[in-house]
C-alpha cells in the first residue's frame, strides 16, 4: 500500500523532487530513532526509515537508467547495485569502531547529508519531462547534458517542436497510476511476471542470508564475508549482461542459486564448513540475480509508469523478505523443509524470468502503447 501511495506522488512531482523528499525524511526518521526512549518507538521509526530508503532506491535506479543510452545502461545498473555491496562492506568496520547503538545509528545515517548536498546538481529525467509535456524543462536539461558531453553541435536540434514528437500519447495531460499496470493485456502479464520474479529473488536471497551459519568468526568478520562475496558476483554480472543478455543472466543466477540450495539439502549437517561455503556461493548467485533484476525491470516498464512498476515490484520484494523468516520456521515440521522451499522459489523465479522479453540493445519503451504494440 505504501509503495502505491509513493508512486502517485512520484509520477505527479517527478523523480528529482521525490528523491530529495526521500533523502530528507529518511535522514530525519533515522536520526530520530537514535533518540528513542523505548523499543516500540525505535521499531516504528526504523520502519519509517526503511520506507523512505525504499523511495531512494526506486527513484535513483529509475533516474539513472533514464539518463543514459543503451550502451551505458548496464554500467549504471551495476554501479547502483555495487553501492549496496560497498555499504555492506563498510558497515562492519563502522560497527566495530562505534559500539554505542545510538552513535552507530547516527554514523551510518551521516552519508545521506552528502547525498542531499549533491542533489542540487541532480537533473530531472528528460524522458519523464517529455512524456508529461514539460518540454521547456526537458530542453534545458538536455542542453546541459549536450554541453557536458561536448556535443554542442546537437544543441540546435533540441527544439521543443522536435521533443514533442519523441513521445506520443493519447492524452499527454493524463495522470497515470498503478491501475495502468493492469489495464491492458501485455501490461497485466508484465506486472504479474515481474512481481512474481521480484518476490522469488528477494525471498531466496534473504532466505539464504538469514540461514547462513558463520565460519566460527566473530560477527564483524562474518558480516564482512557476506558482503565481500557479492563483489565477484556483481562484477561478473557486468560482463554477462551484454554477453548473454539480461534474461539469461537472471535465469542462470536463480537456477545456480537453487542448485546450491539443493546441494546443501544433501550435504550432511556435520559438514558445517562445506555447507557454509556452498551457502555463501549460493548467496553470491542470488546477489547476481538481485543486481540484474533492478536494471532488467526498469528496462521492461515504459517511462510513463516505470516508477509505478518499480514501486509495485519493490512491494512484492518486501513481501518475499517478510515471508523468509516464516519459511525458516518450517524446520519444526521437517529439518530440510525451509531449504526445499527456498530452492523451489528460486527455480520458480528462473522459470518466470525465462518468459520475459530480452532488453539487451533495445530502446526503453516510453508509453503503454509501446508495450502493447512492440513488446
| CATH code for the domain of 194 | 1.20.1250.20
- pLDDT given at position 33: 96
Q: How far from each other are the two terminal CA atoms of the chain, in whole angstroms?
A: 28
**Is 301 strand, coil or helix?**
coil
Residues 85-121: pLDDT tens digits? 898 889 889 999 998 999 999 999 999 999 999 998 8
Q: How many domains does the chain have?
A: 2
Please check whether residues 320 and 263 belong to one and the same domain.
Answer: yes
Query: Could you tell me if 306 and 267 are in contact, meaning their C-beta atoms sit under 8 angstroms apart?
Result: no
Query: Could you tell me if 27 and 113 are in contact, meaning their C-beta atoms sit under 8 angstroms apart?
Result: yes
Give Cβ neighbours of residue 179 (< 8 Å, ≥ 6 apart).
none
330 inside domain: yes
Please check whether residues 233 and 115 belong to one and the same domain.
Answer: yes
Please check whether residues 261 and 312 belong to one and the same domain.
Answer: yes
Ranges of the chain with pLDDT below 50: 1-11, 169-171, 215
Length of the chain: 375
183 inside domain: yes
Please check whether residues 178 and 306 belong to one and the same domain.
Answer: yes
Query: Could you tell me if 226 and 280 are in contact, meaning their C-beta atoms sit under 8 angstroms apart?
Result: yes
**Is 98 strand, coil or helix?**
coil
Please check whether residues 94 and 147 belong to one and the same domain.
Answer: no
- pLDDT given at position 317: 94
Please check whether residues 298 and 321 belong to one and the same domain.
Answer: yes
169 inside domain: no
168 inside domain: no
Please check whether residues 118 and 150 belong to one and the same domain.
Answer: no
343 inside domain: yes
Nearest to 290 by CA among 316, 310, 317: 317
What's the sign of the alpha-carbon dihedral 12, 197, 237, 231? positive
Domain encompassing residue 151:
133-163
Please check whether residues 83 and 158 belong to one and the same domain.
Answer: no
Residues 2-59: pLDDT tens digits? 444 444 444 456 788 889 999 999 999 999 999 999 999 999 999 999 888 888 888 8
Query: How far is residue 228's CA from residue 207's CA, in Å, rounded to a whole number?
Result: 18
- pLDDT given at position 43: 94
Please check whether residues 154 and 249 belong to one and the same domain.
Answer: no
Task: Give 134's Cβ-side CA count (13 Å radius).
Answer: 15
Please check whether residues 320 and 245 belong to one and the same domain.
Answer: yes
Please check whether residues 178 and 225 belong to one and the same domain.
Answer: yes
Amino acid at each position: 500500500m505504501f509503495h502505491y501511495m509513493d508512486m502517485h506522488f512520484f509520477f505527479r512531482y517527478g523523480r528529482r523532487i521525490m528523491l530529495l523528499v526521500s533523502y530528507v525524511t529518511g535522514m530525519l526518521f533515522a536520526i530520530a530513532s537514535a533518540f528513542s526512549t523505548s523499543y516500540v518507538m525505535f521499531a516504528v521509526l526504523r520502519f519509517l526509515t526503511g520506507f523512505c530508503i525504499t523511495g531512494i532506491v526506486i527513484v535513483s535506479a529509475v533516474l539513472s537508467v533514464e539518463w543514459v543510452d543503451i550502451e551505458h545502461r548496464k554500467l549504471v545498473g551495476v554501479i547502483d547495485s555495487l553501492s549496496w555491496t560497498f555499504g555492506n562492506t563498510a558497515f562492519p568496520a563502522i560497527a566495530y569502531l562505534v559500539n554505542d547503538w545510538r552513535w552507530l545509528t547516527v554514523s551510518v545515517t551521516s552519508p545521506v547529508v552528502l547525498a542531499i548536498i549533491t542533489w542540487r546538481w541532480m537533473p530531472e529525467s528528460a524522458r519523464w519531462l517529455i512524456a508529461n509535456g514539460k518540454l521547456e524543462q526537458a530542453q534545458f536539461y538536455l542542453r546541459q547534458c549536450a554541453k557536458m558531453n561536448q556535443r554542442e553541435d546537437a544543441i540546435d536540434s533540441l527544439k521543443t517542436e522536435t521533443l514533442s514528437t519523441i513521445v506520443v500519447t493519447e492524452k499527454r495531460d493524463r495522470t497515470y497510476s498503478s491501475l495502468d499496470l493492469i489495464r491492458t493485456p501485455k501490461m497485466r502479464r508484465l506486472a504479474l511476471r515481474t512481481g512474481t520474479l521480484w518476490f522469488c529473488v528477494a525471498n531466496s536471497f534473504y532466505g539464504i542470508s538469514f540461514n547462513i551459519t558463520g565460519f566460527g568468526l566473530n560477527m564483524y568478520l562474518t558480516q564482512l564475508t557476506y558482503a565481500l562475496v557479492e563483489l565477484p558476483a556483481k562484477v561478473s554480472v557486468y560482463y554477462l549482461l551484454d554477453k548473454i543478455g539480461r534474461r539469461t543472466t537472471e535465469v542462470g543466477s536463480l537456477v545456480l542459486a537453487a542448485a546450491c540450495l539443493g546441494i546443501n539439502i544433501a550435504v550432511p549437517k556435520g559438514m558445517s564448513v562445506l555447507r557454509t561455503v556452498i551457502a555463501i556461493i549460493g548467496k553470491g548467485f542470488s546477489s547476481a540475480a538481485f543486481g540484474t533484476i533492478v536494471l532488467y525491470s526498469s528496462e521492461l516498464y515504459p517511462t510513463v509508469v516505470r516508477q509505478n512498476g518499480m514501486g509495485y515490484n519493490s512491494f512484492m520484494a518486501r513481501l518475499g523478505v517478510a515471508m523468509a523468516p516464516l519459511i525458516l520456521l518450517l524446520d519444526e515440521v521437517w529439518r530440510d523443509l525451509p531449504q526445499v522451499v527456498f530452492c523451489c522459489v528460486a527455480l520458480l523465479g528462473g522459470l518466470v524470468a525465462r518468459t520475459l522479453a530480452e532488453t539487451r540493445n533495445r530502446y526503453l519503451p516510453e508509453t503503454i502503447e509501446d508495450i502493447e504494440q512492440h513488446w
